[in-house]
Amino acid sequence: MRTLDEYLEAAARENTRRSYANAVRHFEDAGGLLPATGEAVARYLAQQGGVLSNNTLRQRVAALGRWHADHGFVDPTRDALVRQTLKGIRAVHGTKEKQAAPLLLQQIEQVVDSLCERAAAAQACGDAGAQRRLARDRALLLLGFWRAFRGDELVRLEAQHVKLAPGEGMELHLPRTKADRQNTGTTWKVPALSRLCPVEAMQAWLHVSGVSSGPVFRQVGRWGDIGRRGLHPNSIPKLLRSILAAGGLAETKQFSGHSLRRGLAGWAHANGWDVKNLMAYVGWRDLRSAMRYIDVDPFARERLEAGLASAAPIVVRPTFGPNAPPPRRALELRLLLSPFVGKAGLKGARRHIEEICLARHGGRPLGEDGTRYALWLDEGDIEGTGFEERIAELLDELHRIADNHSCYLEATLSDPQSRERWD
């Protein structure tokens, strides 16, 4: 039967417990006494300002707050003096957050090709150690990229929680993840791909390693012996850099375990994934967390295009003959916007819809509630684009802008004369 202390220990992640204990120890080593006062914590922060990063200082404050709460003392970190000191440190020692470089799909492909070539050579000469090590590295690289896994998620994945369906996909389960605060477990589905397939790579690694339970990714000895324990999370950045360097990439110091996650996020965004779908796929719950992994501002194109539209030169076009503009239809748009959470993106979504989509079609509001607009659409153009296609493009653009601002959208276009409707 488990004790109360065991359950309390299990309630916090091991990494969190360890880092918090180190933070409290550092406070004491710097001359701090526990329990502490708000003034003592503020003096500690002032002493470490400019020495430790702002993120580290915030973590130290959180650790001290947790210690006092766990031991039944008043939390001194809530003191206004502590908050003001942190604010002042950020103002004086503000620094840009360092981020790992994203791994591009082309780089992944180059490294995987190298891994496959070396694996074939190892098989030809009977080098079991190299064969198993290369199979592990390929599986780790492809799974980490296509599922945007963190390093700790990769090393805690266990073979009994992997369900493989060759040629179709696989299902992975982790009883506990960083984002799973309620410890309900998280399950991911991974599709089989025509190339750079993580399913085939995982199947190959489990086959050559013989791993059927326990940690999936383990040490592989020189002669091919498989370790019993899983890789340590802190070993992932070094291992990844060695894999990339052996695959022919230069300047591998810029990469870390988060490079796989950032690479997938950038690739998905460049290929038209909206932010809502990307957040659901990766497991982000906060829009700001997602945006940290996307290098390109998703709204930059819309803003630039809106500026170009407003600055476009006026061209006089004939009203008849072969170069005459196509006839236009007056339409009515019914628009209902609601945010996913809070109201942060609502104003931005409406502003971009009005400035980008509707301004191009002479849109103007009908009434003051912002739910109905009048606009005009060409029935066709000289390239033969049909009216229905133009309707679909407009609705797609409306939904994309709403998604990018974390908003739900209900949009319906109608023709008051023909009574046709599109949604």
Distance CA 40, CA 82 (A): 9
Q: Which architecture does CATH list for 300-422?
A: 2-Layer Sandwich (3.30)
**4-92: CATH number:** 1.10.150.130
Distance CA 333, CA 322 (A): 31
Distance CA 260, CA 110 (A): 15
- Residue 35, Cβ density class (10 Å: 0-12 exposed, 13-18 middle, ≥19 buried): middle
Q: Which fold has domain 105-269?
A: hpI Integrase; Chain A (1.10.443)
Contact of 330 with 374, CB cutoff 8 Å: yes
pLDDT for 364 equals 82
Among residues 297, 300, 265, 298, which one has the least CA distance to residue 279? 265
Domain boundaries, the chain: 4-92, 105-269, 300-422
Q: Kindly state the DSSP code that residue 353 receives in the 8-state scheme.
A: I
Distance CA 48, CA 361 (A): 57
Distance CA 113, CA 246 (A): 11
pTM of the entire predicted model: 0.56
Q: Cα dist. 405→97, 264, 383, 397, 400 in Å?
A: 23, 20, 32, 13, 9
- Residue 103, Cβ density class (10 Å: 0-12 exposed, 13-18 middle, ≥19 buried): buried
The DSSP string of 381-398 is -TT---HHHHHHHHHHHH
pLDDT for 97 equals 55
Q: Cα dist. 294→17, 151, 256, 284 in Å?
A: 30, 19, 16, 13
Distance CA 143, CA 200 (A): 10
Q: How many residues does the chain have?
A: 423
pLDDT for 87 equals 86
pLDDT for 379 equals 65
Distance CA 252, CA 134 (A): 18
Contact of 216 with 203, CB cutoff 8 Å: no
Q: What is the mean pLDDT of each run of 10 residues along the chain (423 residues)?
A: 52 67 87 90 87 82 88 89 86 67 86 91 88 92 88 88 87 71 71 88 91 89 86 87 88 83 81 74 66 54 50 44 58 83 73 78 78 78 58 80 78 83 80
